[in-house]
A and B are shown apart, each in its own frame.
Chain A
C-alpha cells in the first residue's frame, strides 16, 4: 500500500471567516467559472452590494445642508454606541448571518493594501473576479431602509450625498462598476431633480427606488418623474427589502419567515399598482426592473391579477392587454434569490416571464442568499443563447453596455 500512498496537503485556508479575502471566499466560484469558460461570456451582475455605512463619515461630508452636515460631523466624531448618523432601519435585528454561520454577510474585514482607489473598489473587483463578472451594479445596504425614514428630508439629504460620493469617489475606480442612482422617492420633486442631476453622469445606468415604503407608485405626483426617466432612456428599478415592523410581518417570529415574505411582498404591492394603473400604457418606453424578490412571486401575481381583472376591467380601464402580458413584455426581473426546489415550476416561471429576453442575472453578493452565474448556466431546460442573454446580453441591451465588456 505504501507505494500508492501520497501525502495530503493542508488547505491554506482552513476556515472562512469575516477576515477571509473575498478571492478565497469565492475560490470555488472562480474555479467553476474557469471550467465553464466564462471568460468568453459577457456576465453582468445587476445587483450586488457594498456596505456604505463603513464609509459613512465620507458620505455625510457630501450632505448639502450645512446645518445637517455639521450635525453629522459632530455625531460621527463624538457620539458612541449609536448607528451611523441619520440612518433609520432595524438596528440590531440584522440576523442575516444566521448566528455567525455565514460570515461574509456579517463583515468583510479582509486586508486591503491598495491605496490608489477606494477600499470598496478593491472589494468589488475581488468579487467580480471571483464571480467572473464583467459589469457589477453596486447598491447600498443600510440605505435600503430609507423609504421608511420618518424624516422625508433626511431621505433626500442622504441619498443625494450617497449618489455624489459614489459617483465621485468610488465608481471612477473601475469601469466595470456601475450604479442605479438612489431616488428619494418620498419627495417626488427631489427625485426628479436627482434624475436631472445624474442621468448623464458616467457609470450611472439607471435609477433605483427602494421598495420598502408606503407611497403608492401610481400617485399623480410621480408622473413627471416617470416621464423624465423615460426620456433618459434608462430603467427604473424597484429594489426589494423588508420591514419587520410592518404589522403583518411583525407576526413572523423568525427572520426566515419575515425575510421570505418581506422581500417579495413590497414588490408584489408596487407591481400590482404599477400594472393596474396602466403605467406601462402611460409610459410605453419606460422600462421597469424588479430586483431581489426572487422569481416565484411573478407567476403567482400574473395569474392572480389576470383572474381578477377579467371580472373587474372597469377598475383598470387603461389596460389594453392582460396584466400578465405587461408583466412579461414590459418588465425586467433579476433572478436572485432564484428558487430552485422545483425545477418544473422554475421552467414554467421562465416561460411565463419570457426569461430569455426579460431576465437579468444578479448575485446579491455579499449577502447570505447570493447566487453565482452557475445558477443560470447549469439550468437543464435553457439553450445556450438564452443563458447568454440572461447572464449578460439582456442587461447589455437594457443598459446600453458594451457587449465586449468595460473598456
Chain B
C-alpha cells in the first residue's frame, strides 16, 4: 500500500479532473462539489485511457406524462467521464456505466487531511 500526495483542494476547480502517474498506476482524480474521487485510468471495456477523456453531463430522454418524447436533455447534476477510445461513459461519483452498472471503473481510496489530497494505491 502506498500513499501519494496529489495536491491541495484549492488546486482543483469544481468539476475538473487531473490524471497522475502514481508509480506504475495511472489515476484520474475528479472534483465534484466538495468531494473527490479517484479512478484507475483503465477502461473496463478494452483498457482505454478512460480518465484522459472528456466530461459530459448524463443524457436523459425528455418524456412527458403521456410518454411522448420531446428529445434529449443534459442532466448537469450527473457528470460522466467518457473513455476517448470507444465512448463508454461512467458516472464520476459511482464509477458505473449509466446503462449497465456491472460495467464499472476501478476505484482508489481518497483521503483529505488539512486541505491536502492523498490517493492510496495497492490497498
Residue of B3, B18, B48, B53 touching A6 (CB-CB under 8 A): B3
Q: Are the CB atoms of A11 and B5 closer together than 8 Å?
A: no
Q: Are the CB atoms of B22 and A8 closer together than 8 Å?
A: yes
| A1-44 interface code vs B (CB 8 A; 1 in, 0 out) | 10011111111011110000000010111001000000000000
Within 8 A of B (CB), among A351-395: 368-372, 374-375
Q: Are the CB atoms of B4 and A103 closer together than 8 Å?
A: no
Residue of A7, A13, A15, A368 touching B87 (CB-CB under 8 A): A368
Q: Are the CB atoms of A28 and B84 closer together than 8 Å?
A: no
Given A28-B47, A101-B87, A8 contacting B7 (CB threshold 8 A): yes
The size bracket of the interface on B is 20 to 34
Whole-angstrom distance between the alpha carbons of A5 and B119 in the complex? 10
User: Taking the nearest CB of chain B, how far is it from the CB of A185, in angstroms?
Assistant: 31
The size bracket of the interface on A is 20 to 34
Residue of A1, A99, A369 touching B3 (CB-CB under 8 A): A1
Given A6-B2, A369-B86, A11 contacting B20 (CB threshold 8 A): yes
Is A175's beta carbon under 8 Å from chain B?
Answer: no
Within 8 A of B (CB), among A275-301: none
Q: Are the CB atoms of B5 and A7 closer together than 8 Å?
A: yes
User: Taking the nearest CB of chain A, how far is it from the CB of B105, in angstroms?
Assistant: 14
A12 nearest in chain B by CB position: B21
A15 nearest in chain B by CB position: B52
User: Taking the nearest CB of chain B, how far is it from the CB of A207, in angstroms?
Assistant: 30
Is B95's beta carbon under 8 Å from chain A?
Answer: no
Interface residues of B (CB under 8 A from A): 2-7, 18-23, 26-27, 41-42, 46-49, 52-54, 56, 82, 84-87, 89, 118-119
Interface contacts beyond A6-B2, A101-B56, A103-B54: sample of 18 additional A-B pairs, CB < 8 Å, sorted by A: A1-B3, A5-B4, A5-B5, A5-B118, A8-B4, A8-B21, A11-B21, A13-B19, A15-B52, A16-B52, A28-B48, A28-B49, A29-B47, A101-B53, A101-B82, A102-B85, A372-B46, A372-B47
